A and B are shown apart, each in its own frame.
Chain A
Amino acid sequence: AQSVTQPDIHITVSEGASLELRCNYSYGATPYLFWYVQSPGQGLQLLLKYFSGDTLVQGIKGFEAEFKRSQSSFNLRKPSVHWSDAAEYFCAVGDSGYSTLTFGKGTMLLVSP
């Protein structure tokens, strides 16, 4: 069965500093990997996705993520965090076809002035 681990429940970053959110997955075949962001009281918004090809993927809002098969990881990064990035971030894994997504438990990002 597929699973996702996000080791950090909360992370606090100073505004303007760089960010890295960790995600490790367990999946037998080549995974489809996703990062979603959820602001309070809102639904989830897709930041970026990885299916195949270049292991460094670019997303919206200046985010990027790198797929590392050897480490079963798909970490999310941003070079300079803005206060508006404060939200909860979810990593998810799935496959093609009629698959469902399996989400991690999320990482809450707090941005300090």
Chain B
Amino acid sequence: EAGVAQSPRYKIIEKRQSVAFWCNPISGHATLYWYQQILGQGPKLLIQFQNNGVVDDSQLPKDRFSAERLKGVDSTLKIQPAKLEDSAVYLCASSLKPGQGGNSPLHFGNGTRLTVT
């Protein structure tokens, strides 16, 4: 079974520039999550999709962050304009169905490391 694919692995941009990350979940996984992991912190949920609908985006800074999952499969997370404090690893995860039921754990990709200078 192929895992969660993310690209790029690394990205360096200057503040005020824009950047986009891509995620392709495990085939058949209806739920997709984007997490932000700042150095020294645990991952923090930014947005959760169920198919192509948003379930939870309460912690997404909507003035600069946006995400979409138009066809209910792969997803893109965008930051525009970037700030220094956005430097972090952006992790994508997917699960077969929402929630944390015994048969629906989260599977994480390897993440995209963003550095904003």
Contacts and interface: CB of A to CB of B under 8 A. Distances in A.
- Do A and B actually bind? yes
Interface of A: 4, 32, 34, 36, 41-46, 49, 51, 90, 92, 94-101, 103-106
B25 interface: no
A96 to B, nearest CB: 5
Contacts, number: 66
A10 to B, nearest CB: 11
B100 A96 contact: yes
A41 B110 contact: yes
Q: What secondary structure prevails in chain B residues at the interface with A?
A: loop
Interface of B: 4, 33, 40-45, 48, 50, 55-56, 91, 93, 98-102, 105-106, 108-111
A66 to B, nearest CB: 18
20 contacts: A4-B42, A32-B100, A43-B110, A43-B111, A44-B91, A44-B106, A44-B108, A45-B108, A46-B105, A49-B102, A49-B105, A51-B100, A94-B100, A95-B100, A96-B99, A98-B55, A100-B48, A103-B44, A105-B40, A106-B41
Contact of B108 (A32, A43, A96, A98): A43
B99 A101 contact: no
A96 B43 contact: no
A49 B40 contact: no
Contacts of B108: 36, 43-45
A98 B98 contact: yes
Contacts of A4: 42
A14 B109 CA distance: 30
B42 A43 contact: no
Contacts of A32: 100
B4 A43 contact: yes
